[in-house]
Amino acid sequence: MFGLSSWTLALLIGSSVAGPYPQDAVDKLAEATLPKLKEYLAKNPQGSCTLENSVRRKEWSDLSATQRQEYTAAVLCLMEKPALTSSQAPGAKSRFDDYVTIHILQTPRNHGSYWNWDRYAKDPINSPLFNGNESSMGGNGAKFSYQGIQIPGAPRPYNLIPAGVGGGCVTTGPFKNMTVNLGPIASALTGIKANPRSDGLGYNPRCLRRDINKNSAAVTTANYTLDLITKNNNVYWFQTVMEGQFQQGKWGVHSGGHYTVGGDPGGDFYVSPGDPAFWLHHAMIDRVWWIWQLQDLSKRLAEVSMTRTMGNFPPSANGTLDDMSGLGVLAPDVKVRELMSTMGGLGGKFCYIYE
Ligand SMILES: *[C@@H]1O[C@H](CO)[C@@H](O)[C@H](O)[C@H]1NC(C)=O
Ligand SMILES: *[C@@H]1O[C@H](CO)[C@@H](O)[C@H](O)[C@H]1NC(C)=O
Ligand SMILES: *[C@@H]1O[C@H](CO)[C@@H](O)[C@H](O)[C@H]1NC(C)=O
Ligand SMILES: *[C@@H]1O[C@H](CO)[C@@H](O)[C@H](O)[C@H]1NC(C)=O
Ligand SMILES: [Cu+2]
């Protein structure tokens, strides 16, 4: 029924990845359900976008050391380019900051390469992602004493993620000299210099701080992600479980990944994209959504939930596929419907899968 042999499919999704990380349970599920995408595309052709010619998004440690350095060099390049949002956010000094500005402005409404959480969950500080060498995303912060991360509304002992061994400025790797300009708004750390504006969009230069935290990473192992994908059959529950059910003491893989980085701005709900590691975490969120979609494409490529305000406060109408993306200077304004499929979305401009 499928045009590709299982051998070709195995090659396509890189099941025999070189390197020290065997497939985890979520990787195996993605591999096992990729034929559903093939079948869907056979029935619903997406112009010139096919599985064979789709772009492959790769896991951090499956990139070569050179490719990883090309990635961080590109991020540093964005930090050298002038901002487009400085009229709205005087603190935005670079093209990189534009992404932070738009996230800050969009937080009440929403909340290349990715980071497969499971690979590094047991020892994130010594992982290829955060070991601080030149082909990492930079190292941990220097030691800083603080009480850990409060999780409001959670019962003990889940109301506090114990602090790790960092929390201070990052001193190793490609981002050791980077300047954080925007925020803080809701920092996980105490003692961060306040922003000159109450909306956090003023200029507030400071170092990048992290507390790479295995206490938080512990809820991002593959068994959590596998449960999330396989036990939630509608997007409302998928999203709710992913984002955490704090009253039940469940942090969720979304918070788990954010607080694995922690610090400033990584641990700040609004300003977190100001830490370059944010983007790899959110690409994994997207991959997990994609694997969830793969389980039932005809339904899940058109399924959105939640209202237009965070936690439905203040109460608002349900979001729909006709809502606009609203990414300001970052991207043309399109309907959410256009962004639902990695294969053929945005009028065919999206044509990628995760391997
Ligand atoms: C950085 O660490 C990774 C993962 O341990 C390793 O593969 C790589 O060779 C190291 N690179 C350098 C320049 O030390
Ligand atoms: C960081 O800044 C110092 C001092 O300005 C400079 O010597 C060093 O090369 C910079 N490092 C990186 C990785 O940019
Ligand atoms: C995942 O595995 C860990 C370690 O075995 C266990 O403590 C945890 O309860 C498991 N989580 C889920 C959701 O199964
Ligand atoms: C909004 O979505 C919820 C949950 O899916 C549903 O129960 C409710 O009826 C929807 N409200 C409206 C006004 O459509
Ligand atoms: Cu997030």
* Nearest alpha carbon, ligand 2 atom 1: 177
CA dist 286 and 300 (Å) reads: 14
Average pLDDT, the chain: 92
Residues 293-306, mean pLDDT to the nearest whole number? 95
In a domain, 69, yes or no: yes
| Residue nearest atom 13 in ligand 1 by C-alpha distance | 134
Task: Identify whether 127 is part of a domain.
Answer: yes
Does residue 182 sit within a domain?
yes
| pLDDT beyond 90 at 2 | no
Indicate if ligand 1 lies below 6 Å from the C-beta of 139.
Answer: no
DSSP per residue over 202-241, as a string? S---EE-B----HHHHGGGSHHHHHHHHHS--SHHHHHHH
Number of domains forming the structure of the chain: 1
How much is the pLDDT for 309?
A: 79
Please state, for a pLDDT cut of 90, what percent of the chain lies above it: 84
Can you tell me the mean pLDDT for 34-38?
Answer: 97
Determine which residue's CA is closest to atom 3 belonging to ligand 1.
Answer: 128
**7-11, 44-48, 97-101, 316-320: segment of lowest average pLDDT:** 7-11
| Ligand 1 close to Cβ of residue 134 (< 6 A) | yes
212 neighbors 277 (Cβ within 8 angstroms): no
The two structure tokens encoding residue 5: 């042999």
Residue 27 has pLDDT above 80, yes or no: yes
| C-alpha distances out from residue 81 to 87, 98, 339, Å | 16, 10, 27
Tokens representing 208 are 């990048």
Tell me the best of 63, 120, 133, 134 to mutate to test the pocket of ligand 1, counting ligand atoms within 8 Å of each CB and taking the most: 133
The CATH number for 231's domain is 1.10.1280.10
Tens of pLDDT, residue by residue over 66-85, are 999 999 999 999 999 999 99
Average pLDDT of the residues in 91-110: 87
8 in a structural domain: no
pLDDT band at 19 (very low <50, low <70, confident <90, very high): low
The answer to whether residue 264 is domain-embedded is yes
Give residue 121's pLDDT: 98
- Per-residue pLDDT, averaged over 343-351, amounts to 94
Q: Is residue 15 part of a domain?
A: no
Both ends of the chain: CA-CA distance in Å? 22
What is the pLDDT at residue 108?
60
| pLDDT per residue as tens digits for the range 239-285 | 999 999 999 999 999 999 999 999 999 999 999 999 999 999 999 99
What's the whole-model pTM score? 0.91
Is 275 domain-assigned? yes
Answer yes or no: is 18 within a domain. Answer: no
Q: The domain containing residue 125 runs over which residues?
A: 25-354
